[in-house]
């Protein structure tokens, strides 16, 4: 499980240091791809494979599933962290997420999200009020 918010910087070669507490779980390989709200999703390869299997269960006649799969897989990049715990974020993905230098790396349960730091701060400030006002069950039987 990935938890917390960290603030690494991209270097001039597009490399990003993974937070130390995430490195063990991502050491075996990872997949980076486009996420919603213009962030990047990072999954351990094993988790991405499991998610891929769930997507395969969707009917090919389901347009939403086709569209989602196309964007998800077309932007996907597999990688292995180097010995220093760095990953390379490909230029097209950096452009998609608006990443320049300062980033926010956010633990999001089974995945990691990479945000431009300013975009993350803006998103978080916009969501905190609605988060505190949730009065119904977000997930039935859980909250």
**pLDDT tens per residue across span 96-140:** 999 999 999 999 999 999 999 999 999 999 998 888 777 666 656
pLDDT at 132: 77
Domains of the chain with bracketed CATH: 5-133 (3.40.1550.20)
pLDDT above 70 for 141: no
In the 8-state DSSP scheme, what is residue 58? S
pTM: 0.90
d(C-alpha 50, C-alpha 119), whole Å: 29
What is the phi/psi pair of residue 50, to 5°?
Answer: -65, -40
What burial class does residue 53 get, using C-beta atoms within 10 Å of its C-beta: 0-12 exposed, 13-18 middle, 19+ buried? exposed
pLDDT above 90 for 76: yes
Q: Which residues are CB-contacts of 63 (< 8 A; sequence separation ≥ 6)?
A: none
Determine what percent of the chain is predicted with pLDDT higher than 90.
83
d(C-alpha 45, C-alpha 30), whole Å: 4
In the 8-state DSSP scheme, what is residue 138? S
């Amino acid at each position: 499980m990935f938890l917390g918010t960290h603030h690494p910087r991209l270097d001039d070669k597009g490399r990003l240091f993974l937070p130390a507490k995430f490195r063990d779980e991502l050491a075996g390989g990872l997949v980076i791809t486009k996420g919603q709200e213009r962030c990047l999703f990072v999954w351990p390869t094993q988790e991405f494979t499991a998610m891929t299997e769930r997507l395969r269960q969707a009917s090919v006649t389901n347009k939403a599933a086709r569209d989602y799969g196309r964007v998800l897989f077309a932007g996907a990049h597999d990688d292995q962290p180097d010995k220093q715990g760095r990953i390379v974020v490909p230029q097209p993905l950096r452009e998609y997420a608006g990443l320049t230098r300062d980033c926010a790396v956010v633990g999001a349960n089974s995945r990691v999200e990479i945000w431009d730091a300013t975009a993350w701060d803006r998103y978080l400030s916009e969501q905190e009020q609605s988060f505190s006002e949730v009065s119904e069950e977000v997930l039935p039987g859980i909250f």
